[in-house]
Amino acid sequence: MTLSMDHPSVDHPTSTGTALRIRRIGGRLGAAVEGVRLSADLPDEVIARIRAAILEHKVVFFPGQSHLDDTSHPGFAARLGRLTTAHPTLSGHTSRILQLASRGGQSASSWHTDVTFTDRPPAFSVLRGVTIPDYGGHTLWANTETAYERLPEPLRKLADRLWAVHTNTYDYAAYSDAYRTEEDEPHRRSEFTRVEYRTEHPAVRVHPETGKRSLLLGHFFERFVGLNSDESRELFKIFQARITKPENTVRWAWTPGDVAIWDNRATQHYATNDFDQPREVRRVTVAGDVPVSINGEQSRVLSGDATDFANLDDLIS
């Protein structure tokens, strides 16, 4: 099911009487959806239209979903597919919900795609605003499909052939607890890296649902296979700059109860580090498949077993 992007705002009535109003908010990605109360009890037809909107717009926003809590949030997310655990290594969270709490400007202030250090990054991330500062703390998303499509031909041909190693030597979640102190940092760092994950991904992956190609990079990138560190770093900057060009992004100013859902296979995101008040968002992720290159080759595990995070044998087709 495809939702047209030709118009800035489109109503989508359903047979159950639910009228989804989808309003584009960015030129290359992003839409706000009104007229729906997110829950696990939504009709299949409404869930199908929400899923189609995510695939079409890459990230969709649902304002005013304050009724969701730590039970109903994963209950709704499970309608989009099999859920992962909260995180491959971090503890101290519920089994499905990753709590991202910060104060004083500590946040995920680097461009990334979630959990690419494993061979099975999530398909969708469902993020709920819990505590939002009076100002700042916005989140930005970038479209990795249009970034690939708009590469000059020489860069596109180069990207098609590249493979990259991703690793969990750093992760924002390990540094974003509201009650973190400097004394906690070594423990949190140790916890995040208690299992070393290293995975070779194609720099260009093919989307399993849409068939579109996108750049698979972000801050878990370590190096390109066959290139040294300096060469990898310079080439990474070229591709990453294409992804994060301002016209290739969309920005969301949170209010409490907002929900953002994005296609983790076609986006990167970035939380701005420009606030000095408490901020907490909570994330549930829907399991994804192993990325596939344009030649049909799957990503390769170098170290770390992510089966406990997402068992691919249990995925809903």
**Which residues form the catalytic set?**
112, 114, 269, 283
Sequence length of the chain is: 317
In this structure, the strands spanning 59-62 and 31-34 are parallel
b/e per residue 123-154 (b: at least 16 CB within 10 A)? bbbbbbbbbbbeebbbbbbbbbbbbbeebeee
b/e per residue 46-56 (b: at least 16 CB within 10 A)? bbebbbebbbb
Place of tokens 């202030």: 109
Contact 258, 104 (CB under 8 A): no
Beta-carbon neighbour count of residue 271 at 10 Å?
24
b/e per residue 280-308 (b: at least 16 CB within 10 A)? bbbbbbbbbbbbbbeeeeebebeebebee
Contact 151, 65 (CB under 8 A): no
